[in-house]
Structure 1
Amino acid sequence: MRHVADIPHPDLKITLLAWNGKYLLKLEKGMLEQTYKVSELDLVGGDEEMRQLLDDTFVAAAVRRFADMRDDLQAALERHDLL
């Protein structure tokens, strides 16, 4: 796996990786992680096109998804008395 870039963001840790013919866009917030894979063949502009995906709409949706993920995990932990 090749590290391509760390992309600055105030709320998330964003890492761009390349592996096995794909770009991996990894977003992290606390203990949670989202990874998006895109074939290198789909991006004629390379990693610059991957960076374009990180527009305000995409990032806002990812942040909302992190909140949902946190809530889902919390609910499961409570259902099973694991807190």
Structure 2
Amino acid sequence: MLVNFSMRYIKDIPDQRYKIGIYQWNNKYIIKIESGLYEQTYKIEEYEVASVAELESVFDENFMNCITARFDAMDNDFMLTLRRNEIIF
């Protein structure tokens, strides 16, 4: 089996709130969504989608609301552990 170790940039998806990039690596598409200190990554096998354009259709209002809620939860979890462990006050 041939394994490709270099991740290839495909494109950015414009968004006012987040940096969204699509990459290709190891026969998968990787969707990276970045917001400040936090990042969400989703992977899907190449054979599961017909095209990169099809991947763009997943960014509907419902999914974007879930992304926002997850970033909020990540921030809350991180801040709580920083305070609980007296790293910040």
TM over 0.5: yes
Query: C-alpha separation between the residues in 2 aligned to 1:12 and 1:60?
Result: 12
**Counterpart selection for 1:25 from 31, 42, 48:** 31
Superposition pairs for residues 1-83 of structure 1, below 5 Å?
Answer: 1-43=7-49, 45-83=50-88
Paired letter, 2:59: L
Structure 2: unaligned runs, 5 residues or longer: 1-6
Paired letter, 1:51: E
SS at match of 1:60: helix
Structure possessing the higher radius of gyration over alpha carbons: 2
Aligned length: 82
Q: Which runs of 4+ in 1 moved over 2 A?
A: none
Give the alignment's TM-score, normalised by structure 1: 0.95
Paired letter, 2:34: E
Cα deviation, residue 37, structure 1:
0.2
Give the alignment's TM-score, normalised by structure 2: 0.89
Give me the identity figure in percent: 35
Structure 1: unaligned runs, 5 residues or longer: none
Cα deviation, residue 48, structure 1:
1.0
